[in-house]
Structure 1
Amino acid sequence: MKKIVILSVFLMTIASFAQAQCDVTEFTNKCADRLKPLGFKYLKSYKLDFLNGSKKQIMYSYVFSNGTNYIVTLANNQKDNKGLYVTLLDSEKRPVASSYVERDKKYLSAITIKCSRTGIYYLAYEVKEGREFCGSSVIGFKR
């Protein structure tokens, strides 16, 4: 009986861990599919795993080049990207653009910018209202 109880607990732990995984393949494909119709080429993708609730922000850095147009696309497990947004910060971590429009309380699925200065930029991905999200983001460029 003791072995059955231990085995049951073990199997339930494995099952809950499997459900808590963040598989971003679908979201990455959704983000990447938006690039080509707009004339952008794929650069890089980022996994956004906020599922365990311990993270409120995930930050990545990328070098952007002067005169190049960039797009940052987002997709998650919520309709219309609700709750997930990105803020693009310059090398001094000052906001340049955001996919969340505070005035309208609206979440955008992409932001585009024309880089006016070569340097390191930061992509700060955040969730509103402490929600747990699994998502992806793709950066694209065109000259």
Structure 2
Amino acid sequence: MTRRPQHASAAASNGPSLVTRNLRLGRGRTSIRLEHLEWAALDAICTVEGIDRHQFATQVDRDPMRREKTLTSRVRSAILAYFVVRSGVGVAGIAPTAQALGTQALGRQNGHGDMMGFSAKLPAAEQEESRN
């Protein structure tokens, strides 16, 4: 039985839409599946920030502000948050700070101890709830 792609974009590219790649984290090697566009976005972030995929994933994995259950979800959300913050578009749950929009590298700590651009900043009311 021949399997057909579920989406037109997969058929147009003559390949699967999800690509699995290995990453090295402090806890060992793991793999995640992302869309071609997500891998390209991750590579663009890494080029701009002067880090590699492994460093990006390690920083996202260690970020205490990330609430996603899987590494793949944390990486996807971090990629999206990075571009949302830099676009200046207001999105609920992602509050850009002046430092996040500045010239400091993404993976460096800002004065508040969180990773710039990796974390979705919760509104103050939700932050208070999560502490209780």
TM-score higher than 0.5 here? no
**TM bin (shorter chain):** under 0.3
| Higher strand proportion (structure 1 or 2) | 1
| Higher helix proportion (structure 1 or 2) | 2
> What's the TM-score once normalised by structure 1's chain length?
0.26
